[in-house]
């Protein structure tokens, strides 16, 4: 082999990992190191699992620092007095300083006596509870602290599991770091469920004892502290013994803790429970339909539950100032109810208010759950239990029973009925009228709704016939037809023929002929007379002359309804509500300026901030005790002009004649300036009256919910107007008799009421509503030019008043010719001094 031949070689290069890895390899050989590494890995893995299962979705304890209890919404009337509350739970929130110290000690004795010593978890208490539960055969002792209960009640669910208990303990620790002890205790005592739909100690004190916490006796405080363990059990009469036992145990614990003397505890232990029967919250039962309409509007604006926003109706704790006048509401409710009963008359009982099952004996709870009730007179709601000889046995929601002395053959067990006491334990059957109706009272200056009644009783039928019932308005719509006529060339003294009228409505509708309510016709008459006497034929002719497009536009502008331009709608064939019609009449009094009917003045949050309307501002200086020398606050009129103000006044002035000599003369003896219009729809199926004074307008209708004939005798003037009269007699008592104000541009002229011609030398007689001469309102340059001769007036039975006793300077000795001349001169002087404008 040649020594100089090349040889084959290979090399392997390696890099040292350094001393750390070598040291780890060395340590890994040691048993203690491997065990430590395994433990660390298990801890990391355990934490990851704990985070994935528990901590990842754990509620934030810091959220409790801004927690607000769900509170009910309270509604106040126009004077600021509460009259209704929207609540599914009884809740009254107190600050910690408001809780009586002895009540706090009662709860600590019952639930967590070491509350002020532990940090959220009472380890000593847990050991004691375990020992007691193992060695005692009596009552088991819980181990959850008040902080843990707050965590469960406010941040977790009631699910019973070890996972929840672990979360509860973790959250309790976090809560103790986020809140003070006083804040935690306040949350607990304001939120704890205590039965009877009461949450928190103040609500429970009202529910069980009818008093506030600051006047509770010691035994009453101990009973409230017993409730968290079993609220639905201890609040029932059949578990009274158990409730007293739990209460007395708490009193004993208070002695052991040194918070009350043995003598005082012994005296308290001897007391009965003293629970009052279940009862509704202490608000007046006024304005049920009004309150329900307010609730509907609030839900539409703010939502119903806490999930829908911070200002929800059932959780936001709102304070609502409404426009309801409690006195007017009471009068409205009574007037409508009395009117419904008058119409119902002697009709017998026809059907029950509702029916509940009776097969399992749970009639009492079912009757209570039906929420059917009434506050009319001394009536009560009962359920028929069983027929008996001569009558029937009945039961009430309170559990009481009685005897119905006369039971109709159709009555059966389970029927819910209205009854009235007859003496002893006997009752008489009462019939809730089947006919329905609605009534609204409104301020025509600002549109505020002052009262609303939508039926006999909201707890019998919640359907609000004042806002929800779409009914034909009948003749109450005629004033707006005449308003369109006045805007299109007519005047109150224009002559319209009251005679049969037919119109061709096209190939599809054919020829339509109209008739008066009483049939026949009266020939040529003034426009005023047609409205006062509610003549259909004259109304149709006026609508035709004005143009039905213009009439329909007037209906639309006055927010009555959006109807097609057919003549039948001029007689009230369209549908609307009593609220819309009342508001339209209010706009007439408001000189044709738009009004929006409102039930809510403003809404405040639980902190007192006004949250609606957004542009709300307080009236500075409006409630000063004494005048400060500065100008009086004045408000600009709101709303756009939707009708000529002179036209609006002309219609009001004509409607005053409806009361004086038309279809509503039943109201004349109220002896004050009034305007209004009756209405009766075909059938008749509805009867109406709408009208009032310069500062109070009311509208009412009666009719069956499923429209049917009310009887040929039914008319607005005989059924609806008396309801208004009953209300107005009391509502207007003591109020000044103010005339309707005329806007600028109105010319008042004396005319002959029958012919519409201008009159000189004669004056209206205020004491004779059917006199020949009346004041009539005209627009400028539309006054009648023709006059009626004095000899024509002398021949008529309704002779006019010939002179004004306060201003006549006529000398009778100078003869008739000089007298007429002097009277004419006086007229001219009067018009000159007054400007002819009112």
- Annotated catalytic residue, options 475, 494, 534, 586: 475
- Annotated catalytic residue, options 111, 168, 202, 292: 111
- Determine which helix (DSSP H) or strand (DSSP E) holds 429, and give its type and residue range: strand 426-430
SS3 state at 604: strand
Give the residue ranges of DSSP H helices in 682-815: 721-731, 790-795
Q: Give, in degrees to the nearest 5, the angle at Cα 416 between 411 and 419.
A: 85
Instruction: Locate the DSSP E strands across 9-145.
Output: 73-76, 82-86, 90-91
Q: Which residues lie across from 416 on neighbouring strands?
A: 354, 383
Q: Of 368, 379, 320, 369, which is closest to residue 83 (Cα–Cα)?
A: 320
> Are the beta carbons of 775 and 758 closer than 8 angstroms?
no
Token reading at 22: 């070598």
User: What gap in Å lies between CA 199 and CA 69, rounded to an integer?
Assistant: 10
User: What gap in Å lies between CA 549 and CA 484, rounded to an integer?
Assistant: 10
Q: Is 475 a catalytic residue?
A: yes
Burial of 663 (0-12, 13-18, 19+ CB in 10 A): buried
Q: Which residues lie across from 402 on neighbouring strands?
A: 394
Tell me, what DSSP letter sits at residue 270? T
Q: Of 164, 168, 234, 239, which is closest to residue 198 (Cα–Cα)?
A: 234
- Residues 6 or more apart whose CB falls under 8 angstroms from that of 98 comprise 213, 214
Q: Of 326, 331, 444, which is closest to residue 696 (Cα–Cα)?
A: 444
User: What gap in Å lies between CA 759 and CA 804, rounded to an integer?
Assistant: 14
User: What gap in Å lies between CA 422 and CA 411, rounded to an integer?
Assistant: 19
User: What gap in Å lies between CA 634 and CA 540, rounded to an integer?
Assistant: 43
**Helix, strand, coil percent content, the chain, rounded in steps of 5:** 40, 15, 45
Please report the DSSP string for 156-201 in residue order: S----SHHHHHHHHHHHHHHHHHS-HHHHHHHHHHH-B-STTEESH
Q: Give, in degrees to the nearest 5, the angle at Cα 408 between 403 and 412.
A: 75
- Length in residues, the chain: 838
Phi-psi region of 157 (alpha: psi -120 to 50; beta: other; left: phi over 0): beta
> Catalytic amino acids?
111, 475
């Amino acid at each position: 082999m040649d020594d100089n031949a090349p040889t084959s070689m290979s090399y392997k290069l390696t890099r040292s990992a350094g001393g750390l890895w070598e040291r780890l390899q060395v340590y890994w050989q040691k048993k203690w190191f491997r065990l430590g590494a395994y433990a660390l890995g298990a801890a990391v893995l355990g934490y990851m699992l704990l985070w994935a299962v528990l901590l990842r979705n754990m509620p934030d304890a810091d959220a409790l620092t801004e927690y607000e209890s769900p509170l009910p919404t309270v509604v106040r009337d126009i004077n600021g007095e509460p009259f209704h509350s929207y609540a599914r739970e009884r809740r009254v929130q107190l600050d910690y300083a408001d809780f009586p110290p002895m009540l706090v000690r009662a709860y600590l004795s019952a639930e967590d006596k070491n509350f002020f010593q532990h940090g959220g978890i009472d380890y000593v208490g847990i050991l004691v509870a375990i020992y007691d539960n193992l060695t005692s055969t009596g009552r088991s002792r819980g181990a959850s602290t008040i902080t843990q209960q707050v965590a469960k009640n406010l941040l977790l669910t009631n699910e019973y599991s070890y996972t929840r208990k672990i979360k509860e303990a973790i959250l309790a620790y976090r809560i103790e770091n986020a809140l003070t002890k006083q804040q935690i205790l306040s949350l607990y005592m304001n939120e704890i469920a205590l039965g009877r739909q009461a949450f928190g100690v103040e609500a429970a004190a009202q529910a069980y004892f009818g008093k506030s916490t600051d006047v509770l006796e010691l035994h009453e405080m101990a009973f409230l502290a017993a409730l968290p363990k079993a609220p639905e059990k201890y609040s029932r009469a059949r578990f009274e013994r158990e409730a007293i036992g739990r209460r007395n145990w708490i009193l004993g614990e208070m002695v052991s803790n040194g918070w009350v003397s043995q003598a005082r505890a012994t005296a308290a232990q001897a007391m009965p429970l003293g629970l009052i029967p279940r009862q509704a919250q202490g608000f007046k039962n006024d304005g049920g339909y009004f309150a329900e309409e307010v609730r509907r509007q609030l839900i539409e604006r703010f939502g119903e539950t806490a999930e829908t926003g911070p200002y929800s109706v059932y959780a936001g704790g709102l304070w609502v100032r409404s426009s309801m006048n409690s006195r007017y509401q009471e009068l409205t409710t009574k007037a409508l109810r009395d009117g419904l009963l008058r119409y119902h008359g002697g009709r017998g009982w026809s059907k029950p208010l509702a029916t509940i099952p009776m097969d399992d004996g749970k009639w009492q709870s079912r009757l209570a759950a039906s929420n059917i009730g009434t506050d009319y007179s001394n009536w009560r709601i009962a359920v028929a239990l069983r027929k008996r000889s001569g009558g029937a046995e009945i039961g009430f929601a309170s559990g009481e029973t009685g005897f119905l002395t006369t039971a109709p053959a159709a009555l059966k067990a389970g029927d819910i009925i209205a009854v009235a006491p007859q003496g002893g334990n006997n009752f008489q059957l009462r019939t809730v009228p089947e006919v329905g109706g609605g009534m609204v009272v409104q301020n025509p200056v600002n549109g505020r709704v002052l009262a609303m009644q939508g039926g006999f009783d909201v707890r019998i039928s919640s359907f609000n016939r004042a806002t929800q019932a779409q009914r034909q308005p009948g003749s109450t719509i005629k004033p707006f037809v005449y308003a369109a006529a006045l805007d299109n060339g007519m005047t109150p003294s224009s002559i319209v023929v009251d005679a049969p009228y037919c119109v061709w409505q096209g190939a599809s509708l054919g020829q339509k002929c109209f008739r008066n309510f009483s049939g026949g016709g009266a020939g040529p008459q003034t426009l005023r007379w047609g409205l006062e006497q509610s003549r259909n034929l004259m109304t149709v002719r006026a609508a035709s002359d004005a143009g039905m497009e213009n009439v329909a536009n007037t209906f639309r502008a006055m927010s009555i309804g959006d109807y097609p331009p057919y003549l039948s709608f001029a007689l009230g064939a369209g549908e609307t509500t009593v609220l819309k019609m009342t508001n339209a009449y209010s706009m007439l009094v408001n000189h044709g300026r738009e009004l929006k009917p409102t039930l809510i003045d403003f809404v405040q949050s639980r902190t007192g901030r006004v949250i609606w309307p957004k542009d709300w501002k307080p009236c500075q200086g409006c409630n000063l005790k004494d005048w400060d020398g500065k100008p009086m606050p004045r408000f600009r009129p709101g709303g756009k002009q939707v009708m000529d103000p002179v036209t609006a006044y002309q219609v009001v002035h004509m409607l005053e004649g409806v009361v004086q000599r038309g279809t509503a003369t039943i109201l004349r003896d109220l002896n004050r300036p009034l305007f209004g219009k009756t209405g009766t729809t075909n059938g008749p199926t509805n009867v109406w009256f709408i009208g009032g004074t310069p500062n109070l307008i009311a509208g009412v209708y009666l009719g069956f919910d499923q429209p049917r004939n009310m009887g040929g005798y039914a008319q607005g003037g005989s059924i609806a107007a008396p309801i208004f009269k009953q209300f107005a007699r009391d509502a207007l008592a003591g109020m000044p008799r103010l005339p309707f104000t005329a806007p600028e541009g109105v010319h008042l002229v004396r005319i002959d009421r029958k012919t519409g011609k201008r009159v000189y030398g004669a004056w209206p007689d205020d004491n004779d509503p059917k006199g020949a001469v009346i004041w009539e309102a005209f627009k400028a340059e539309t006054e009648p030019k023709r006059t009626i001769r004095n000899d024509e007036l002398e021949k008529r039975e309704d002779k006019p008043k010939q002179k004004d006793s306060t201003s006549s300077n006529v000398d009778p000795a100078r003869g008739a010719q000089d007298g007429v001349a002097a009277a004419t001169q006086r007229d001219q002087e009067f018009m000159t001094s007054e400007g002819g404008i009112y």
